[in-house]
Structure 1
């Protein structure tokens, strides 16, 4: 039996079919606009192997020259229904007649295949995965036998050889079985990933809700208590003012928590401007210095001139949170160093402390909702920082050794080169001279 070896033309035909299926899923999964036109995409992807199979047919012997064009027709019609099947049938017939000339037998055979598959496709798409696999293979085998019988009855030149039985009656059902399995597997992967994204979003929402509820309730409880105390008619004026200060402080705390939440949930990009990094970092350092001195933390800076594009308010809040975390990581004092440098395309900001450091788990969970290494922390500051960096198309890197310190590196695409900033250099120098 000379046909037992694997014919390389068969492998070529199978390659066209499998690559087209994979191409369909790559486009469907990665180009969101194409999800609305699934049947059109399926038609386009199944058209390609139909033409290639006919253009490069399977030569077995002088009486047996065929191809596997019917398999893309099966697959397209089963998954896309009669509209996809009709489009593929028309393309198949036009291509067949253009390449080899008109043939009545070809027309009858493929019309029968299309009608039978289209009628079955509605029921097919309601079946579970296991039934789809076996039913698609059975209907393919049935149609191959029927169309072979029709060909023998209509054409006296048509001969059924052992090679024909193997390659065009037994192989197609196996190929369709594998193709349906591949399609179902890839579709399941897309659905599972979509569900995972939804579950992650729901988890973030629930964690944020729990965090905000817990953190806002604390200051409001304090406010409620002081308001009750203020009702005392015998309360002295000094006490009233003291209680009112406590109320205002706690309300400010609640407002700060809500502002951080809103910044994380929807960081605004309405006002995008050029941010002069050196100036902004120095302003943040001046704000933090009194608090750092109280905690015996020395702040050092080495800042290079450079600019990035983004929202200045969120940029300040981002690095205020990062530097504040650095100071808080050194309860017994230490050194906080801020360094900036740039190259032709990127501006890098490094914030290093000599504090408690972070474990690998803490690094991996940095910026995660409702996660903080601090006892009374909410994690909102880190979330705002991470969200802002991503919004400004930046990259965040963390290096840390427990009990030695942490270095947070943020890399932004540069907006203005030093040459453009050179115009501002005289002013900067003058400012430095006045300070000295």
Structure 2
């Protein structure tokens, strides 16, 4: 491979590489929601291309520098407008001035005229089809190259053969760069539309689920209130109806709280939550459910009155109840659940909840905590969604490991609050 071919490949990669970096940044922006990735960053990558192209030219034929610098200049101006165009022009002038050369001013005039033409065509260009865009870019770069070649022509260094080869290579490079830019922009647009559609779908599902969940207790309450209008019913029956109606209203309020927790997981009041007592409370609530499913709950806790996190105790206990209840229901034929608490002397509280149930696939694990995802036939996924939101709201995280037919383990990691720790083992 001769030197000219090597320089050609390097210079061509100087144009293409920033385009791939641009796409990478935008994919990171959409996937991880990086706030600092903005659309104006489009200007950074033509700048990088220009500097690389001028640093690694195809051929150095004094006073000519044969390279691909016009490709990022024209593309950046057509897609970004005149502001981006003149920023790129300033970068090009600065780089060219530092590199030196006796045709600096003449080449500058040609590049200025090229940038002005591209700026004037920018709005018109963006409305055109792909074929028309490729044609406009090719004609624009070809005219700029031809005028530049003949105005700065020195017969001893520049031949028609070199000129035609250089023009042809630039046009091919411009076509490829235009196609790649359009593909990247189409991908960005599709990603944006996909995310917007997903948000609308989640909103519609939330609305449907909310109306269904809250409709049941309200319908029941309405029914019992209507029964109270019957004067023939006894006082005892009337009081019983009132009690049930009040319970159903409480149920509706709890559903609303659960949805609000998902929307805003950060706790309203940051009180001290004693972890040991909260786990004990959750187990007491679920004992009848565990006995009904023939499930034994084994606990291995270290009594620690000063082991706590900051948050809302009621929500945290409900979160534990959701998780343990799901573990109980994952063992239809009975089994054991092991719960351990490790409040160490560093900055973490670790709660482990392990069952010997049916387990989950990796895909199911990845979907845990998402709205409406559940492995139960009659479930809504609301409980686990709230559980993940609550733990996240107090600064913790949940990790899950599972093997089908082997069981599932939940690892809950929480930030420990301040206080001395005096550990008394419980047997």
TM category, shorter:
0.7 to 0.9
| 1:357-396 correspondence to structure 2 within 5 Å | 357-358=359-360, 363=365, 365-391=367-393, 392-396=395-399
Q: Is the 8 A contact 2:76 2:84 kept in 1?
A: yes
The aligned residue for residue 284 of structure 1 is 282
The answer for the alignment partner of 1:58 in structure 2 is 58
Name the residue aligned to 1:215: 213
The offset of 1:129, in angstroms, is 3.2
Contact 1:60/1:163 (CA < 8 Å) preserved in 2? no
CA offsets 1:145-165 (integer angstroms, 9 cap, x no match): 23334434xx66663242332
**Residue deviations 1:11-49 (CA, integer Å, cap 9, x gap):** 22222222223334444553533426x1xx344432333
**Equivalence for 2:162:** 163
1:20-419 matches, cutoff 5 A: 20-27=18-25, 30=29, 31-35=34-38, 38=40, 41-59=41-59, 65-103=65-103, 104-152=105-153, 159-166=158-165, 168-272=166-270, 275-304=273-302, 312-330=313-331, 333-341=334-342, 347-355=349-357, 357-358=359-360, 363=365, 365-391=367-393, 392-402=395-405, 406-412=407-413, 414-415=415-416
Q: Does the CA-based 8 Å contact 1:389-1:396 persist in structure 2?
A: no
After superposition, the Cα gap between the structure-2 partners of 1:65 and 1:407, relative to the gap in structure 1 and judged at 3 Å, is closer
- Helix, strand or coil for the counterpart of 1:335? strand
Moved more, 212-221 or 45-54: 45-54
| Structure 1 residues 148 and 309: alpha-carbon distance in aligned structure 2, compared to 1, 3 A threshold | farther
Deviation at 1:365?
Answer: 4.3
Residue 336 of structure 1: how far off its partner (Å): 2.5
How far residue 414 of structure 1 moved from its aligned partner, in angstroms, is: 4.8
Shift of 1:294: 5.0
Residues 126/309 of structure 1: CA separation in 2 closer, same or farther (3 Å cut):
farther
Residues 81, 121 of structure 1: 8 Å contact kept: yes
Equivalent pair of 1:109/1:150 in contact (CA under 8 Å): no
Greater mean deviation of Cα atoms: 392-401 or 195-204: 392-401
**Structure 1: any 5+ residue segments left out of the alignment?**
none
TM-superposed CA distance for 1:301, in Å, is 0.7
Looking at structure 1, the residues matched to 164 and 156 of structure 2 have their Cα atoms a distance apart, in angstroms, of 16
- Measured in 2, the distance between the counterparts of 1:121 and 1:8 equals 34
Worse-superposed segment, 385-394 or 174-183: 385-394
Go from structure 1 to structure 2 and tell me whether the alpha carbon gap of 1:227 and 1:310 turns closer, same or farther (over 3 Å shift): closer
Change (3 A) 1:78 1:393: farther
User: Gapped runs of 5+ residues in structure 2?
Assistant: none
Give the aligned CA root-mean-square deviation in angstroms: 3.3
Change in Cα spacing, 1:388 to 1:146, as seen in structure 2 (3 Å) is same
- Quick one: distance in 2 between partners of 1:383 and 1:35? 31
Listed one character per residue, the Cα deviations across residues 39-81 of structure 1 (whole Å, up to 9, x for unaligned) are xx34443233323333333336688652222222122212122
Q: How far has the Cα of 1:384 moved from its partner?
A: 0.7
Cα separation, 1, equivalents of 2:266 and 2:81? 45
> In the TM superposition, what whole-angstrom CA distance separates every residue of 1:71-118 from its partner, at most 9, and x where no partner exists?
221222121222221222233223323322453431332223222222
User: In the superposition, relative to structure 1, how do residues 272 and 129 fare at CA in structure 2: closer, same or farther (>3 Å)?
Assistant: farther
1:347–1:412 Cα contact (<8 Å) kept: yes
Q: How many angstroms does 1:235 deviate by?
A: 1.1
The 1-side partners of 2:380 and 2:309 are apart by 29
CA–CA separation in structure 1 for the residues paired with 2:275 and 2:161: 78
Report the count of equivalent residues.
416
SS state at 1:232 partner: coil
CA distance in 2, matches of 1:132, 1:228: 70
Contact kept in structure 1, 2:335 and 2:357, CA below 8 Å:
yes
Give the one of 389, 409, 424 matched to 2:421.
424
2:273 touches 2:308 (CA, 8 Å); kept in 1? yes
Given that 2:26 and 2:188 are in contact with CA atoms closer than 8 Å, whether structure 1 keeps it comes out as: no
